Structure 1
Amino acid sequence: MAGSLLHSFATSFSSCSSSSSSRLLLSHSPPSLFLTSFRRSAAVAAPGVRFSRVLSSSSSSSSSSRSPLCYRRGQRRLMAHSIARATLGLTQPNAVDVPKIAFAAKEINAVEWKGDLLAVGVTEKDMAKDESSKFGNSLLKKLDSQLGGLLSEASSEEDFTGKAGQSMVLRLPGLSSKRIGLIGLGQSSSTTFAFRGFGEAFAAAAKSTQANSAAVTLATTDSISNDSKLSTASAIASGTVLGLYEDTRYKSEGKKPVLKSVDFIGLGSGAEIEKKLKYAEDVSTAVIFGKELVNSPANVLTPAVLAEEASKIASTYSDVFTATILDAKKCEELKMGSYLGVAAASANPPHFIHLCYKPSSGPVKTKLALVGKGLTFDSGGYNIKTGAGCSIELMKFDMGGSAAVLGAAKAIGQVKPPGVEVHFIVAACENMISGTGMRPGDVVTASNGKTIEVYTSSFSSLLWNPSFWFIESTVDNLADT
Structure 2
Amino acid sequence: MKISLSPATPEAWSGSVLALGIPENDPQGLVAAMEQRFSLQLSDWLKQKPFSGKPGDCVSLPLLRSDCTALVLVGLGEASSVDRDRLRLAAAAAARAAQGQGGTLGLLLPWSSDTPEEDAAAAAEAVRLALYSDERFRSKPEPSPKPDQLELLGSLPGGLSHGLEAVHPVCAGVELARELVAAPPNSVTPAELARTASHLAHEHGLELTILERSDCEERGMGSFLSVCQGSDLDPKFIHLTYRPNDAASKRLVLVGKGLTFDSGGYNLKVGAAQIDMMKFDMGGSAAVFGAMRAIAELRPAGVEVHMLVASCENMINGSAVHPGDIVTASNGTTIEINNTDAEGRLTLADALVYACKLKPDAIVDLATLTGACVIALGDEIAGLWSGDDSLSSQLEMAAQAAGEGLWRMPLHSPYRKGLKSLLADMKNTGPRPGGSITAALFLKEFVDAGIPWAHIDIAGTVWSDKGRGLDPSGATGYGVRTLVNWIINQANT
TM-score class, shorter? 0.7 to 0.9
| Aligned partner letter, 2:47 | S
| Aligned partner letter, 1:353 | I
- The DSSP-based 3-state class of the residue aligned with 1:381 is coil
| Distance verdict in 2 for CA 1:156–1:459, change over 3 Å | closer
Q: Deviations over 1:173-202 (max 9, x none)?
A: 789322211111223563322222122112
Contact 1:381 1:432 in 2 (8 A): yes
- The DSSP-based 3-state class of the residue aligned with 2:78 is coil
Q: Deviations over 1:225-268 (max 9, x none)?
A: 1x422122111111111111111222341123342211111141
What is the rounded CA distance, in whole Å, between the counterparts of 1:257 and 1:267 in structure 2?
A: 29
* 1:325 matches 2:216: no
| Distance verdict in 2 for CA 1:457–1:144, change over 3 Å | same
What is the rounded CA distance, in whole Å, between the counterparts of 1:392 and 1:184 in structure 2?
A: 39
* 1:193 matches 2:76: no
User: What's the counterpart of residue 407 of structure 1?
Assistant: 290
* Larger gyration radius, structure 1 or structure 2: 1
* 1:343 matches 2:234: no
C-alpha displacement at 1:312, in angstroms?
1.1
What is the rounded CA distance, in whole Å, between the counterparts of 1:442 and 1:233 in structure 2?
A: 54
User: What's the counterpart of residue 57 of structure 1?
Assistant: none
Q: Which range is displaced more, 364-373 or 154-163?
A: 154-163
* 1:449 matches 2:332: yes
| Aligned partner letter, 1:439 | H
* 1:154 matches 2:45: yes
What is the rounded CA distance, in whole Å, between the counterparts of 2:235 and 2:315 in structure 1?
A: 12
Contact 1:112 1:175 in 2 (8 A): no
User: What's the counterpart of residue 111 of structure 1?
Assistant: 11
| Distance verdict in 2 for CA 1:173–1:433, change over 3 Å | closer
Count of aligned pairs: 362
User: What's the counterpart of residue 310 of structure 1?
Assistant: 197
User: What's the counterpart of residue 247 of structure 1?
Assistant: 134
* 1:468 matches 2:339: no
| Aligned partner letter, 1:381 | G
- The DSSP-based 3-state class of the residue aligned with 1:281 is helix
User: What's the counterpart of residue 28 of structure 1?
Assistant: none
What is the rounded CA distance, in whole Å, between the counterparts of 2:3 and 2:127 in structure 1?
A: 10
User: What's the counterpart of residue 295 of structure 1?
Assistant: 182
What is the rounded CA distance, in whole Å, between the counterparts of 2:57 and 2:66 in structure 1?
A: 22
What is the rounded CA distance, in whole Å, between the counterparts of 1:370 and 1:142 in structure 2?
A: 50
What is the rounded CA distance, in whole Å, between the counterparts of 2:186 and 2:143 in structure 1?
A: 27
More contact order relative to length (CA 8 Å, sep ≥ 6):
1
TM-score w.r.t. length of structure 1: 0.72
User: What's the counterpart of residue 56 of structure 1?
Assistant: none
User: What's the counterpart of residue 144 of structure 2?
Assistant: 256
* 1:205 matches 2:97: yes
C-alpha displacement at 1:118, in angstroms?
0.7
Q: Deviations over 1:33-74 (max 9, x none)?
A: xxxxxxxxxxxxxxxxxxxxxxxxxxxxxxxxxxxxxxxxxx
| Aligned partner letter, 2:313 | E
- The DSSP-based 3-state class of the residue aligned with 2:108 is strand
User: What's the counterpart of residue 283 of structure 1?
Assistant: 170
User: What's the counterpart of residue 121 of structure 1?
Assistant: 21
User: Out of 169, 181, 184, which is 2:60 matched to?
Assistant: 169
| Aligned partner letter, 2:234 | P
User: What's the counterpart of residue 233 of structure 1?
Assistant: 120
| Distance verdict in 2 for CA 1:417–1:249, change over 3 Å | same
What is the rounded CA distance, in whole Å, between the counterparts of 2:363 and 2:297 in structure 1?
A: 22
RMSD: 1.8
- Unpaired runs of at least 5, structure 1: 1-100, 127-135
Contact 1:230 1:267 in 2 (8 A): no
Contact 1:107 1:269 in 2 (8 A): no
What is the rounded CA distance, in whole Å, between the counterparts of 2:318 and 2:66 in structure 1?
A: 71
What is the rounded CA distance, in whole Å, between the counterparts of 1:468 and 1:120 in structure 2?
A: 48
User: What's the counterpart of residue 269 of structure 2?
Assistant: 385
| Aligned partner letter, 1:392 | I
Contact 1:314 1:323 in 2 (8 A): yes
Percent identity between the aligned chains?
38
Contact 1:147 1:174 in 2 (8 A): no
| Aligned partner letter, 2:7 | E
| Aligned partner letter, 2:73 | L
User: What's the counterpart of residue 373 of structure 1?
Assistant: 257
Output aligned runs, 1:352-371, within 5 Å: 352-361=237-246, 363-371=247-255
Contact 1:102 1:262 in 2 (8 A): yes
| Aligned partner letter, 2:156 | G
Contact 1:147 1:175 in 2 (8 A): no
- Unpaired runs of at least 5, structure 2: 367-493
TM-score w.r.t. length of structure 2: 0.70
Contact 2:22 2:30 in 1 (8 A): no
Contact 1:334 1:447 in 2 (8 A): yes
